[in-house]
Amino acid sequence: MAEALIVFASLTGNTEEMADIIAERLEQHGVTTDVVEVLQADAEELLEYEAVLIGSYTYGVDGVLPDEMLDFYEDMGQLDLSDKVFGVFGSGDTFYEVFCAAVDHFEKQFINCGAQQGGTSCKINLNAEEEDIIKLHALADGIAEKLKAK
């Protein structure tokens, strides 16, 4: 089984950059990682990996998922992910009333699917600054550790 898959949605590149930061850190731990934009991904692909991560920005006045994430979100809800380690991250903007709600939605969805949380989900204001990169690395480190313990 392949090791880690990161599926992301990113309009202006902030979440995509976070996906790359996490992938690089996982690779440093020796975890082979594929990074795929959500429109190129099928939820069933999650089943082919030991660790699965979703990165999503948040969009809309009430902090909903981006349109391109909706099908993936629903389809993953049908899967049994009980043998997977998961991670969630995403960019938002603290200007909005509901900050980074997409991260909460995906965290809940993974838990509903029975997956084991690899580390604290990362909600990041706009692009990742130094202190955010530390959090993204910590998420990757947690996932790598849980994979090793399997």
Ligand X SMILES: Cc1cc2nc3c(=O)[nH]c(=O)nc-3n(C[C@H](O)[C@H](O)[C@H](O)COP(=O)(O)O)c2cc1C
List of residues contacting ligand X (CB under 6 A): 10-15, 57-60, 63, 91-93, 96, 98-100, 126
CB of 148 to ligand X, least distance (A): 30
**87 vs 92 by CB, closer to ligand X:** 92
Identity of residue 118: G
Nearest to 19 by CA among 31, 2, 36, 43: 36
CB of 20 to ligand X, least distance (A): 12
Identity of residue 50: E
**59 vs 86 by CB, closer to ligand X:** 59
**67 vs 83 by CB, closer to ligand X:** 67
**79 vs 124 by CB, closer to ligand X:** 124
Beta strand 122-125 with 33-37 is: unpaired
CB of 61 to ligand X, least distance (A): 6
Phi, psi of 52 (to 5 degrees): -130, 130
Q: Which residue is nearest to ligand X (CB)?
A: 92
**68 vs 75 by CB, closer to ligand X:** 68
Nearest to 60 by CA among 109, 11, 6: 11
Any idea what DSSP says for residue 30?
T
CB of 12 to ligand X, least distance (A): 3
* CA 56/CA 124 separation, integer angstroms: 11
CB of 2 to ligand X, least distance (A): 25
* CA 47/CA 90 separation, integer angstroms: 22
